[in-house]
Copies of this chain bind each other. A is one copy, B any other.
Amino acid sequence: MRAEATDWSIQEVARLAGTTSRTLRHYDDVGLVPPSRIGANGYRYYDEAALLRLQRVLLLRELGLGIPAIADVIAGQRDDREALRRQLAQLRQEQERLARQIASVERTIETLEGGEQLMAENMFDGFDHTQYREEVEREWGAEAYATSDAWWRGLGRDGQAAFREQVAALNRDWIAAAASGIDPDSHEAHALAERHVEWLGSTPGIPRTGDAPAKEYVLGLAEMYVADPRFAANYGGATGAAFVRDALAAYAANRLS
A residues adjacent to B (C-beta < 8 A): 1, 5, 8, 16-19, 48, 51-52, 55, 58-59, 62, 80-81, 84-85, 87-88, 91-92, 94-95, 98-99, 101-102, 104-106, 108-109, 112-113, 117-118, 120-121, 123-124, 127-130
Known: A48-B117, A81-B113. 10 other contacts (CB 8 A): A16-B123, A17-B128, A19-B128, A48-B120, A52-B108, A55-B127, A62-B127, A62-B129, A81-B109, A92-B102
Q: How far is the CA of A98 from the CA of B63 in the complex (A)?
A: 12
Contact A16 B99, CB 8 Å, known A105-B59, A109-B88: no
Candidates B18, B88, B95, B127; contact of A124 at CB < 8 Å:
B18
- Asked if A127 contacts B95 (CB within 8 A), the reply is no
How far in angstroms is the closest Cβ of chain B from A207?
19
Give chain A's interface secondary structure class. Answer: helix
- Asked if B88 contacts A120 (CB within 8 A), the reply is no
Q: Which residue of chain B has the shortest Cβ distance to A130 in the bound complex?
A: B18
- Asked if A55 contacts B123 (CB within 8 A), the reply is yes
- Asked if A128 contacts B95 (CB within 8 A), the reply is no
Chain B residues in 8 Å Cβ range of A18:
124, 127-130
- Asked if B88 contacts A105 (CB within 8 A), the reply is yes
Number of copies: 2
Q: How far is the CA of A16 from the CA of B84 in the complex (A)?
A: 32
Q: How far is the CA of A105 from the CA of B62 in the complex (A)?
A: 14
- Asked if B95 contacts A108 (CB within 8 A), the reply is no
Chain B residues in 8 Å Cβ range of A52:
108, 112, 118, 123
Chain B residues in 8 Å Cβ range of A98:
91, 94-95, 98
- Asked if B55 contacts A121 (CB within 8 A), the reply is no
Q: How far is the CA of A222 from the CA of B31 in the complex (A)?
A: 46
Chain B residues in 8 Å Cβ range of A130:
18
How far in angstroms is the closest Cβ of chain B from A180?
45
In the complex, the 9 A-B pairs of residues with the closest C-beta atoms, listed nearest first: A18-B128, A17-B124, A18-B127, A48-B118, A91-B102, A84-B109, A81-B112, A88-B105, A16-B124
- Asked if A112 contacts B84 (CB within 8 A), the reply is yes
Q: How far is the CA of A128 from the CA of B81 in the complex (A)?
A: 23
Q: How far is the CA of A3 from the CA of B119 in the complex (A)?
A: 11
- Asked if B118 contacts A17 (CB within 8 A), the reply is no
- Asked if B91 contacts A105 (CB within 8 A), the reply is yes
